[in-house]
Amino acid sequence: MLILSVAGCSSTGGDNKAANETQKETADTTAKTAKYPEKPINYIVAFNPGGESDITARAQQKPLEKILGVDIVISYKIGGGGAVGWQELVNSKPDGYTVAGFNLPHIILQPMVREDAGYKTEQITPIYIFEATPNILAVRKDSEFKTLEDFVKYAKENPGAITIGGSGSYSANHLGTLEFNQIAGIETTYIPFSGSGEAVPALLGGHVTALMTYTTMGIKHSDEMRVLAVAAEERVPALPDVPTFKELGYDYVEGAYRGMAGPPGLPEDIIKILAEANRKVNQNSAFREKLEGMGFKLVDLGPEESKKLIAEKTEYYRKILKELGLIK
C-alpha cells in the first residue's frame, strides 16, 4: 500500500508540474493577447501602388488605426503576382504584428501550379475577407473594338494576335483570360504585370491590345478606357451601361476576393481582434460609400467563413485548371 501510495504521489506530482507549466504558458499567452496590440502593425501589400490591394489597404489604414489604437504601417513586397509578399507573410512571427492583404484565387492558383511559389495556401491564416471585384475586359477609348463581338471576331480571325494584359500570373486576371479564351473559342496572349497600377499604363501606352482587369480600374479610367463586358452575374451599379458576359452569350463569371491574413500559428484571440476591427471598418458608412463608388463590392466573411470559401474555391479552381490542362 505504501509503495502504491508513494507511486501515486509521484505521478500526481508530475501531472501537477505539467499542468502548472501549461497554465503558465496559457497565462503568458493570455497576458500578451490582453495587451494586443501595443505597437505598430506591419500591413504587407503584395502588389504595386495604385492597384486594388493598395487602394483597399490605404482606405483601411486610418479606420484601423482608430479602432486598434496603433499605427498601421503599409509596406510593399512586390513580385511573383503577389507570391513575394505572401512568402514573407508565412515566414513572419505569428504575433499579430505582421499581416498582409491576400487575394483569391491567387493564393490558391499559385501553389497549385508553381512549385516555386514560396508558400502553401494552408500556411496563410485568413482573418477576414472584406471585398470583391469582378473582372472586366477593357480596351483603349480609341480602340477599333467597340463591342465584345468586335473583339471576339478579330481574335478568331487572327489567332494569338491580341495581347491581354493583367495583374499577375495565376491570378484572377490570368485565369480569367484563359477561361474566356476557352469559352469564346479564341486564342489570345496574356501579358502579366506586377499589378493593376502597372497594367493600366501599359494599355494606355499601346503596349497591349486589351486588359483583363477589375471594375475598379474601369471606373477610375473611364475617360481613357472602354469596358466591353463585366464578368459578374449582373450589371455593376457603378458601370450601368456595361453588359455582363452572360448577357452577351458567354457563361463567364470571374474576379477576385480580397482580405487580410496572418502567418501560420497566429493565436485565435489575435485573429478575433483583427477580424472584429475589419468588420467595424466595413460598417463605416464613409468607408463603404468610398469603396463602393470605386467599384468594390464589400463583403463580410470572418475567419471560419473565409476558410470555408477558400476550401470551396480550391476545389473549383482545381477542376478549372485540369480542364485547361495546367495541372494533372
**Model confidence pLDDT, tens digit, residues 114-167:** 999 999 999 999 999 999 999 999 999 999 999 999 999 999 999 999 999 999
Q: Is the pLDDT assigned to residue 16 strictly greater than 60?
A: no
Domain(s) labelled CATH 3.40.190.10 in the chain stretch across: 134-230
Residue type, 212: M
Could you tell me which CATH number the domain at 40-132+256-323 has?
Answer: 3.40.190.150
**Model confidence pLDDT, tens digit, residues 260-292:** 999 999 999 999 999 999 999 999 999 999 999
- pTM, whole model, 2 decimals? 0.82
Torsion of CA 121, 124, 126, 130, to 10 degrees: -80
Residue type, 127: I
Arithmetic mean of pLDDT, 101-106: 96
Which single residue is written with the C-alpha cell 458576359? 245
* Fold exhibited by the domain 134-230: D-Maltodextrin-Binding Protein; domain 2 (3.40.190)
Q: How many CB atoms are located within 10 Å of the residue 196 CB?
A: 28
**Model confidence pLDDT, tens digit, residues 219-276:** 999 999 999 999 999 999 889 999 999 999 999 999 999 999 999 999 999 999 999 9
DSSP for 141-206 reads TT-S--SHHHHHHHHHHSTTT-EEEEESSSSHHHHHHHHHHHHHT---EEEEESSHHHHHHHHHTT
